[in-house]
Structure 1
Amino acid sequence: MTFVVTEACIKCRYTDCVEVCPVDCFHAGPNFLVIDPDECIDCTLCEPECPVEAIYPEDDLPDGQEGFIEINAELSRIWPVITEMEAAPADADEWADKTGKAELLER
């Protein structure tokens, strides 16, 4: 099993989760983070660090978020690894509680 970053991360891109990851499985895109399923060791450290609750165990995804399993796998192959916390986008707090952001994902 692996952990999956879901839609809630889009346009928020808080990076609190990356510093606690012992295997550097996070990858960063323009407005979203993903977890490499081949690197994730299911340690659970990242999940409670996410301020928008965007990280879930693969087997416990909210309804409608299943497509993010493949999105994480796909984008982790092309986006660079991120290991240190970065500043969130200036408008991240404005997006934190919004839903229906999937079409805003920048690849």
Structure 2
Amino acid sequence: MAYVVTEACIRCKYTDCVTVCPVDCFHEGPNFLVIDPDECIDCMLCVPECPVDAIYADDDVPADQRHFIALNAELAANPKWKPITLQKPPLPDAAQWAQVRDKFDQLDRG
């Protein structure tokens, strides 16, 4: 089992989660974070750190978000999506996007 970043992270990109990850499994894109499932050790330390509740165990990902399991693996393997280990400020308009649903079309794959 690995953990998965879901739609709630899009256009927010809070990075509180990366500071507690003991194996540096987060990767950063222009407006979204992903977890590399091959690096994740299932420690779940990142889950309570996410202010928008975007991180789930892969078995617990809501049905309408299941495509994010494959998407995390795909984007973590993208060489443009570099590992991120230090906290950064969220995107400038993150607060406006934090409660928006159905924003998959806003994902920037860089």
Q: Which amino acid letter does the alignment assign opposite residue 54 of structure 1? A: A
CA distance in 1, matches of 2:13, 2:69: 17
Q: Which amino acid letter does the alignment assign opposite residue 53 of structure 1? A: D
Selected match of 2:82 from 64, 75, 80: 80
Asked if 1:103 is matched to 2:105, the reply is yes
Report the identity percentage. 63
| Cα distance, 1:63 vs structure 2 | 2.2
| Cα distance, 1:62 vs structure 2 | 1.3
User: Which whole-Å deviations, capped at 9, do the CAs of 1:3-54 have from their partners, x for residues lacking one?
Assistant: 0000000000000000000000000000000000000000010000000000
Task: Let me know the Cα RMSD of the aligned residues.
Answer: 0.4
Aligned residues: 107
TM-score (structure 1 length as normaliser):
0.99
User: Which whole-Å deviations, capped at 9, do the CAs of 1:47-100 have from their partners, x for residues lacking one?
Assistant: 000000000000001120000001000000111000000011110000000000
The equivalent residue for 2:14 is 14
CA distance in 1, matches of 2:45, 2:67: 23
Q: Which amino acid letter does the alignment assign opposite residue 80 of structure 1? A: K
Gaps of 5+ in 1: none
CA distance in 2, matches of 1:12, 1:76: 18
Gaps of 5+ in 2: none
CA distance in 2, matches of 1:5, 1:101: 14
Asked if 1:42 is matched to 2:42, the reply is yes
Q: What's the secondary structure of 2:23's corresponding residue?
A: coil
